[in-house]
Structure 1
Amino acid sequence: MVHDKRADNDSSRWDNIIFSTTDLWDESKWTDAVHLDFEGYDISPHWDDEGNSYVVGSHAWKVAYGIHINRVDLTTGEVLGDWTNIWNGTGGIAPEGPHIFKKDGWYYLMIAEGGTGLLHMETIARSKDLYGPYEPNTANPILTNANTTEYFQAVGHADLFQDAQGQWWGVALAVRSGPEWVTFPMGRETVLYNVTWEANSWPELQHPVRGEMRGWSLPGIIQDLPGDGPFVDEGDNNIKFRPNTSIPPHFVYWRPPIAENYAISPPGHINSLRLKPSSLNLTGIDGNSPGPGGQTFISRRQVDTLFNFAFDLDYTPSAHNEEAGITLFLTQNHHARMGVAMLPLANDSSKLAPHFHFHAISYVPVPDDIVVPVYASWLNKPLTLSLRAVNVTHYAFGAGPADGSVPIQDFAYVGGDIISWGFTGALVGAYATSNGVIGTTEAYVTNWNYQGWGQVRENWNGTGIY
């Protein structure tokens, strides 16, 4: 974890933690966090032939460059020696994301360089001794999409593994932005490619990375697996929050949730998710801090280029600034939302009425707020709120009566550039807030739907959806 409000040269800025388990599928088998004292990040374990455990990590590069290694007791986090710098990379900024592989008597150290933007790349060096010296591959970088027109960019932070047939594969992080580097709402995604690694030689990684790769045959799809929850491409098919069910495991909160703000099928509202309003809205106090009381917000990830997300909202605000609605969310200072809010009428500020209120915030220009009174024929009845990706760059917010008597009407459009920041990708979900005061009016969500309409895997001209 990074405490990003602390100074770059403050060692307490970095908090490296390790979790372990004897059963990946059993939540109860995971250990509590084990803390490791290291002034850096991107730690990775390595075990030698005698079973000794090591950690290799990226030293905080704004303090001092370098990939460092040390013996560590992974069960306690105890550091068993001094941290040693074993390689500084090939000259790209921010050498990070290290992994060590032992093969054919060589230790191979593979790292990312160039930062996580358009110059991201993967380089490799090797040594006969774990602590070096490490000799770089003259063919570096061994993986990059830098200085290309490929749709997938910022390829790096890679790892290698073998399948059951002994064939080598690689994974890496990448974004679907093209070289324009403007719109990539799903953030850094994982890409898969083939690797050839002959004896006593360097691994050869297939690149440039593209939306369609050729090489080794993929294994058959196995869906009979332990654990709960849908597969990534299944979508959410009309989740009704029935009695005696739980919040789906792939749903995401923003920061630790306040448990009493969420309830499935409460009395009088069977087949719905109750949201108690938080005093804080999605922006919060300063766009970064959660403040007291948390934020009532529940979501799932956008996992398709094109999709439609919608739910029915049963909500009648009763006090000024009470609001509940739908959001496209990256962080507190990068999101768009449209809700039903109790606001003064434009022609008579002494009277309050429910309005559709669209608002967006980002570090780039955003559309103006839109405030429209809820139509008289739509008042005091459940509404369907919708959010859809209309193309690779823009989203539409819409609403209509939940009974389907009137088609969904689009009220606002927003560009995906407002949530194309950082690394983690967009969330879509529901929120309830009283916008700075203590509110009491609860919102009820049901018929939660997320349906993917297609993936864009190459530069898009309106075709080529998979």
Structure 2
Amino acid sequence: MDIRTGKRLSDIKLIWKGSGGSYVEGPHIYNRNGWYYLLTAEGGTAYGHMVAIARSKNIWGPYESNPKNPILTNRMSYASLQGTGHADMIQANDSSWWLVHLAFRPAIDGIHFIGRETCLTPMRWHNDWPIVNDSGQAVILNKTIPSNYKPSTIKPFSTTVNTNFDTSFSMEWVYLRNPDSSNYDIHLRKGWLALRGNAFHLNDIDNPTCILRRQQHFNFTATTTIDFSPNTSNEEAGMTLLMDNRFHYDFYVTQSGQNTVLELRYTLDSLEHVYKSIPLPKGNVTLIVKGDKRNYQFYYQLPYGKLVFVGTLNTRFLGTEVSGGYNGVMIGLYATGKGISATAPAFFDEFTYVPSN
């Protein structure tokens, strides 16, 4: 392959069909002790996911399948990690070997709504075959990584994320598809993020004005303060918990008649319903979402006011097993004009994400 253009320079040659699992993908080739090793993911990325390996003295084959394939899988188990696969073999500075791979953590009743996460599982070599964790399974050990392995810049998993929108977005923030940068402004009001809604909504497979970060923990609290004065009932802005364009929960400010209102809405494929609508005075309102394995709870607070409970929505309906296709809920901020460009920007004063036990 020409690495500059991506053009293929030689014929395609089949060297291994896999160990027998479906969806053979993500191949890696290694050379060790005179052997070429071909590592693959099989079984799809759900509960049947697994890692298989084959070896050959010649890079073109024939490849001998490991008789103990799959070398890693948590299928047909009650392990707290599932969907283990898409692996890579690495050797640490102390000569120990590890398998770095993906997995997900189910919440309740086999539903998972946190995305695929990166895992490290120990491995060793025996008779020139890799043995993973002596069991072929990945488990959560809650062990401290030795200090000589830990990069100095790594953040603890329990770190609070506080985004002040005073400079630029940090790397954990992502957009939906191809953003229109003119709809995102951190200079219009100092210390605030201004989002201007375009014609696209979160239901559309397009580029609505939306900025998101991943839900990384079952238990968390996410908070933002919004200042938004919609001019029409088409205009709305607020927080969203989004699996995809068909499955999301929205907590937003909009206009209803002559009033500004705060609404909680769920979109579950063809079912869309405003669960609660609450009149608001003009000015800022703080939006709070608290999550656990079973539910998302929604609250709001006016300046110098009490915390007010709005409602509860179930996490399972944003799970991959219900929505299908995608992995991992995103939480973030959005604005839309729902069919036309919004006339008023929505201002957001920081976003805080606090994990908890």
Mark yes or no: TM-score above 0.5: yes
Aligned to 1:361: 267
Q: Separation in 1 of the partners of 2:142 and 2:356?
A: 22
Cα deviation, 1:286-305, whole Å, max 9, x if unaligned, reads xxx21xxx311112111222
Task: Tell me how far 1:406 sits from its aligned partner.
Answer: 1.2
Gaps of 5+ in 1: 1-71, 345-351, 455-466
Map of 1:376-395 to 2, 5 A cutoff? 379-389=281-291, 391-395=292-296
Find the aligned partners of 1:417 and 1:280 in 2 and give their Cα distance. Answer: 23
**Alpha-carbon distance, 1:214 to partner:** 6.6
Q: Distance in 2 between matches of 1:144 and 1:83?
A: 29
Distance 2:261 2:312 in 1: 14
Distance 1:215 1:128 in 2: 38
Rounded to whole Å, the distance in 1 between the matches of 2:9 and 2:296 is 52
Alignment pair present for 1:452 and 2:352: no
Corresponding residue of 1:86 = 15
Q: Deviations over 1:178-214 (max 9, x none)?
A: 79432x112211111101024x510001142122167
Q: CA deviation at 1:161?
A: 0.4
CA-CA distance at 1:232 after TM superposition? 5.8
- Contact kept in structure 1, 2:50 and 2:73, CA below 8 Å: yes
Cα distance change on mapping 1:231 and 1:451 into 2, 3 Å: same
Return the match for 1:373 from 278, 291, 296. Answer: 278
Alpha-carbon shift at residue 75 of structure 1 (Å):
3.0
Q: Give the aligned partner of residue 48 of structure 2.
A: 119
**Structure-2 change in CA distance of 1:410 and 1:190 (3 Å):** same
Relative to structure 1, the CA distance from residue 358 to residue 316 in structure 2 (aligned partners, 3 Å threshold; closer, same or farther) is same
Q: Structure 2 CA distance, aligned partners of 1:103 and 1:246?
A: 45
| Larger RCO (CA under 8 A, 6+ residues apart) | 2
* Secondary structure class of the residue paired with 1:203: strand
Paired position in structure 1 for 2:37? 108
Match of 2:171 among 226, 229, 249: 249
How many residue pairs are counted as aligned between the two chains? 352
**Residue type at the aligned position of 1:355:** V
Deviations 1:421-440 (A, max 9, x none): 43442211111112212320
CA contact (8 A) 2:88 2:99 kept: yes
Change in CA separation of 1:213 and 1:272 when aligned onto 2, cut-off 3 Å: closer
1:317-373 per-position Cα deviation (integer Å, ceiling 9, x unaligned): 1212211111101211121111111123xxxxxxx312222222235x978422423
1:47-58 correspondence to structure 2 within 5 Å: none
- If the length of structure 2 is used for normalisation, what is the TM-score? 0.91
Amino acid in the other structure paired with 1:250: E
Q: Aligned partners of 2:217 and 2:11: how far apart in 1?
A: 45
Matched, 1:212 2:138: no
Is the deviation greater in 160-169 or in 298-307?
298-307
Q: 1:283 aligns with which of 200, 203, 206?
A: 203
For residues 205 and 172 of structure 1, the distance between their equivalents in structure 2, rounded to whole angstroms, comes to 12
1:202 counterpart residue number? 129
The residue number in structure 1 matching 2:181 is 259
The DSSP-based 3-state class of the residue aligned with 1:86 is: coil
2:241 to 313, 323, 328: 328
One-letter amino acid matched to 1:316: S
Contact 1:251 1:300 in 2 (8 A): yes
Letter matched to residue 361 of structure 1: T
Residue of structure 2 in register with 1:42 after alignment: none
Distance 1:214 1:412, change over 3 A: closer
1:128 corresponds to: 57
Matches within 5 A, 1:44-443: 72-177=1-106, 180-182=109-111, 184-198=112-126, 200-206=127-133, 207-212=136-141, 217=146, 219-224=148-153, 233-237=158-162, 239-242=163-166, 245-266=167-188, 269-284=189-204, 289-290=205-206, 294-344=207-257, 352-363=258-269, 368-375=273-280, 379-389=281-291, 391-401=292-302, 403-420=303-320, 421-443=324-346
Query: Contact between 2:253 and 2:260, CA under 8 Å: does it hold in 1?
Result: yes
Cα separation, partners in 2 of 1:446 and 1:81, compared to 1, 3 Å: same
Q: Give distance in 2, aligned partners of 1:370 and 1:310.
A: 20
Q: 1:87 to 1:178 in 2, by over 3 A?
A: farther
Distance verdict in 2 for CA 1:325–1:231, change over 3 Å: same
- For the 8 Å contact 1:329–1:419, the answer to whether it is kept is no
Q: 1:353 touches 1:373 (CA, 8 Å); kept in 2?
A: no
The separation in 2 between residues aligned to 1:240 and 1:263, in whole angstroms, is: 13
Secondary structure in structure 1 of the residue aligned to 2:138: coil
Cα shift at 1:218: 6.4
Tell me how far apart the structure 2 counterparts of residues 323 and 180 of structure 1 sit (CA, whole Å). 34
Question: Which amino acid is 1:251 matched to?
Answer: W
Residue aligning to 1:39? none
Q: Secondary structure at the match of 1:257?
A: coil
Using the size of structure 1 for normalisation, the TM-score is: 0.71
Asked if structure 1 preserves the Cα contact closer than 8 Å seen for 2:233 and 2:255, the reply is yes
Q: How far apart are the structure 2 equivalents of 1:216 and 1:343?
A: 53
Q: Which runs of 5+ in 2 are unaligned?
A: none
3-state SS of paired residue (2:317):
helix
- CA distance 1:308–1:213, shift in 2 (3 Å): closer
